[in-house]
Amino acid sequence: MDDIRPPIAQGSTRFLDQLRLHIRQSGLAYRTEQTYLLWIKNFIRFHSRQHPKNLGSQDIEAFLSHLAEQRNCSVNTQRIALNAIVYMYKRFMGLDVGDLKFSPAPTPKRLPVVYSRDEIAAILSQLRGVHRLQVELMYGTGLRKAELLSLRVKDVDFGSNNIFVRGGKGNKDRSTMLPQRLKPRLLQQIDHVKRLHAQDVLDGYGEVYLPDALSKKYPSAATDLAWQFLFPSTTIGKDPRSGTLRRHHLHPSALSKQIRKAVQAAGINKPAKSHSLRHSFATHLLESGYDLRTIQELLGHSDISTTEIYTHVVNRGGKGVLSPADTLGS
């Protein structure tokens, strides 16, 4: 793991250390911890390093408006900053921030980047091994990159043909389909995890990270094969939460790099992003006649309006209207 920090002393009196400990004990993802602390530090710096207890709702509104008006942050960035500040005041400090009024960031209407089926095949032809399996899974299930990498062995259910997503975006659970063609390779991947885990145990490791609540409820689960990551890291690393040496999942940057290389090698002149595989999954299902509500559930969208964006990019071109140029004779 790249971002390695020493564990926090339980008796620390520093405000940010206490806040970090509170976030960890609440069971939020490590990435969320990093993001929340970043935005809270920005909030404190914006107000000349005043302690948050001396700041109020107007100060929160001023910071959020600044993000939209001076820094031109996106609506998602502004929302993340808001979530971080509200967490600090409401859950950590026990203070109500009230009904905040601030300048909202503009919401640009951007269409998702979608790969055609031929382009998906071309991308896959450039990949080998575990990275090809990961890309096929993202395209075949609609998983986000973070959701894919967070999968545990137990989340793949061959009996019901489901893949279970635990604590996805918004900390929600859901299930999606298990592509039949990937079953043999997933079984091979689990066998690889089994062998790797057995060696880790022999070497004195083999204990995977579990959220605090689970580790207390099931103290032996951390060493069970079922709880090991489906795509484990190639090396043992220090857990930044506790300082424990253990094997985490593969780093997201490694997968992103492989996708970029594959898209370029395939000669595809579109942005090379893992999220485009998710967009392609949804668009191709829509083209195949599946209804929006089903696709919404598979993607884990809380609002169907988010899913409706894919109706604008289905393979019909120009809103399904036949171009007059195509009616001309030769």
Catalytic residues: 144, 169, 275, 278, 301, 310
198: which 2 tokens? 């057995």
Please give the Cα distance from 106 to 65 (Å, whole number). Answer: 11
Return the closest-CA partner of residue 67 out of 52, 54, 84, 51. Answer: 84
- Give the burial class of 191: count Cβ atoms within 10 A of its Cβ; 0-12 exposed, 13-18 middle, 19 or more buried: exposed
- Give the burial class of 93: count Cβ atoms within 10 A of its Cβ; 0-12 exposed, 13-18 middle, 19 or more buried: middle
Burial 132-146, CB ≥16 within 10 A → b, else e: bbbbbbbbbbbbbbb
Return the closest-CA partner of residue 80 out of 35, 19, 27. Answer: 35
Please give the Cα distance from 85 to 6 (Å, whole number). Answer: 24
Residue found under tokens 């690393």: 237
Please give the Cα distance from 207 to 190 (Å, whole number). Answer: 17
Q: Is the dihedral of CA 24, 29, 32, 34 positive or negative?
A: positive
